[in-house]
């Protein structure tokens, strides 16, 4: 079912401006490629579940991550958080990101876990598109706000 949606979304989502959720066709192609490629970097001897994630910055860089597991399972980290942490190390901050890509080896598009949605939320606008890929590179798109509605964030701590 999701796979069917994936095909539909990937072919039908170009807007009247010729952009796909704000990205050019070339940017989407690269985001997809980088997200899928990143899976091979995963260190996941425990789950055998390879995840790749890529951030596209507004200044045109692609920054990738993969999951890094640990014998003590809760100590490991996920692809999206690895990608975002690397981006923060390069000086990117809230306002720097144009899109997020995620890819697994599943037949259907797979979504970030709740912890990663929360991690992304610290640095991405709620309108940021997240491209959820299946193993073949087909994707569906949801905004971060759609994936984490009524989200908890920095403004709540300041209240």
Active-site residue list: 80
Quick one: tokens of 106?
């599943």
Q: Would you say 32 or 64 has its CB closer to a second copy?
A: 64
Distance of CA 130 to the CA centre of its chain: 5
Q: Is 41 in the site for a second copy (CB under 8 A)?
A: yes
Of 53-92, which residues contact a second copy (CB under 8 A)? 64-66, 68-78, 81-82, 84-86, 88-89, 91
Written as one string, the DSSP assignment of 48-90 is ----EEEEEETTS-EEEEE-B--SSGGG-B-HHHHHHHHHHHT
Is residue 115 at the binding interface for a second copy, with CB under 8 A as the rule? yes
What the block records as the tokens of 117 is 């949605």
CB of residue 7 vs a second copy: minimum separation in angstroms? 17
Contacts of 4 (CB under 8 A, 6+ apart): none
Residues forming the site for a second copy (CB under 8 A): 38, 41, 43, 45-47, 49, 64-66, 68-78, 81-82, 84-86, 88-89, 91, 93, 104, 106-107, 110-119, 121-122, 132, 142, 146-154, 156-157, 159
């Amino acid at each position: 079912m999701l796979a069917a949606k994936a095909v539909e979304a990937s072919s039908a989502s170009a807007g009247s401006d010729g952009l796909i959720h704000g990205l050019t066709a070339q940017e989407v192609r690269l985001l997809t490629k980088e997200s899928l490629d990143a899976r091979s970097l995963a260190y996941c001897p425990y789950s055998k579940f390879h995840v790749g994630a890529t951030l596209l910055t507004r200044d045109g860089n692609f920054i990738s991550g993969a999951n890094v597991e640990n014998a003590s399972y809760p100590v490991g980290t996920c692809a999206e958080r690895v990608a975002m942490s690397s981006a923060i190390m390069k000086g990117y901050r809230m306002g720097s990101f144009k899109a997020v890509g995620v890819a697994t080896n599943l037949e259907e598009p797979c979504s970030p876990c709740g912890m990663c949605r929360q991690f992304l939320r610290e640095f991405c606008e709620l309108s940021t598109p997240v491209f959820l890929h299946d193993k073949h590179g087909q994707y569906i798109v949801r905004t971060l706000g759609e994936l984490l509605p009524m989200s908890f964030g920095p403004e709540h701590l300041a209240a």
